[in-house]
Amino acid sequence: MDLSDKVVLVTGGTGSFGRVFVRMVLDKGNPKKVIVFSRDEAKQSEMMEEYQGEGRLRFFLGDVRDQGRLRRGLAGVDYVVHAAALKQVPLGEYNPIEVIRTNIMGAANVIDAAIDRGVEKVVALSSDKAANPINLYGATKLCADKLFVAANSYSGGHRTRFSVVRYGNVVGSRGSVIPLFRRVRKTGVVPITDPRMTRFWITLEQGVALVMTAFASMQGGEVFVPKIPSMNLRDLAEVVAPGCRHEYVGIRSGEKLHEVMIPADEARNTVEVDDMYVILPAFKSWDGADAWSRYPRVPEGFCYSSDTNPVRLSQAELARVVELC
């Protein structure tokens, strides 16, 4: 994770991912400067207290909806991690235009500002919900993914390159089901949507490591997908709330029984690389040698889904993960 002499800006830098990203980059990346760009002044104030005396850290209040503010914040920046998003599924269904303004128009603003300011590389965070989306949040993230891939053509003769990382549910992030299970276990009853439900599972630290891998290997237009384990929701409930009765409440609107990170239709453009898959751009009109041609394509009909994923967390493995939250 070598960022020597690089200035790095992270949008949504006070969120779950942003806070871990900042900590890991400052500890291990040797950056020239890290800029936290977010609209939450209270969380920025908390981080200032936490990192008091850290001369490489800067805080910049702003919203990705405001392109002028982004342009100001990106002055002199080398790398950008775009983590800002509205991601609560039920709230997104009731407030669709707000999600569109942040997740889609905000992504477009990041792209324009990065090109105008001569940023070298931009990596955007996506979601498994962007693959075959069935809710508005997933649809906006899919749109954002398409914008970031196409931005490599849109940048024209500029040097800026854009790529995307896509991963599943994050252990310990805001909105994680673990805090819910912990709150309700004292009642003796744990609500579970469906006993068959599975999800991909990744830690925040693994998510940061994937972003750094993307920075190191991207040519522009890739969607990087890590090989990560799946877990069964019922197993997780038994680990977090042992002995509690399970109450099956049904799948909520906008939810899937199983999550997909690479649909079969995207598999035809996907190569397998060690501990990850790389979805290559279906349309490429920008310069650059194809460093991915030496890697094997995934088989015809391949689908990377949480229910068919061969790597599954046992209850014992889940218990070790939960201890860290």
**Residue 270 forms part of a structural domain:** yes
**Residue 1 forms part of a structural domain:** no
Number of domains the chain is built from? 1
**Residue 215 forms part of a structural domain:** yes
| DSSP SS3 for 231 | strand
**Residue 111 forms part of a structural domain:** yes
The residue segments making up the domain with residue 118 are 7-168+201-227+261-303
Give residues with Cβ within 8 angstroms of 228, minimum separation 6. 167, 168, 200, 201, 202, 206, 311
Burial of 93-119, coded b for 16+ CB within 10 Å and e otherwise, reads eeeeeebbbbbbbbbbbbbbbbbebeb
**Residue 122 forms part of a structural domain:** yes
**Residue 135 forms part of a structural domain:** yes
Question: Annotated catalytic residue: which of 129, 141, 146, 186?
Answer: 129
User: Rounded to an integer, what distance in angstroms lies between the CA atom of residue 292 and that of residue 277?
Assistant: 11
**Residue 255 forms part of a structural domain:** no
Active site residue 129: yes
pLDDT tens digit at each of 325 positions of the chain? 689 899 999 999 999 999 999 999 999 999 999 999 999 999 999 999 999 999 999 999 999 999 999 999 999 999 999 999 999 888 999 999 999 999 999 999 999 999 999 999 999 999 999 999 999 999 999 999 999 999 999 998 888 999 999 998 887 666 678 888 888 898 999 999 999 999 998 989 999 999 999 999 999 999 999 999 999 999 999 999 998 999 999 988 888 999 999 999 999 999 999 999 999 998 888 877 688 999 999 999 999 999 999 999 988 988 887 876 7
Nearest to 150 by CA among 88, 107, 180: 107
| DSSP SS3 for 10 | strand
**Residue 175 forms part of a structural domain:** no
Q: Could you tell me the CATH number of the domain that includes residue 66? A: 3.40.50.720
Q: What is the pTM of this model?
A: 0.94
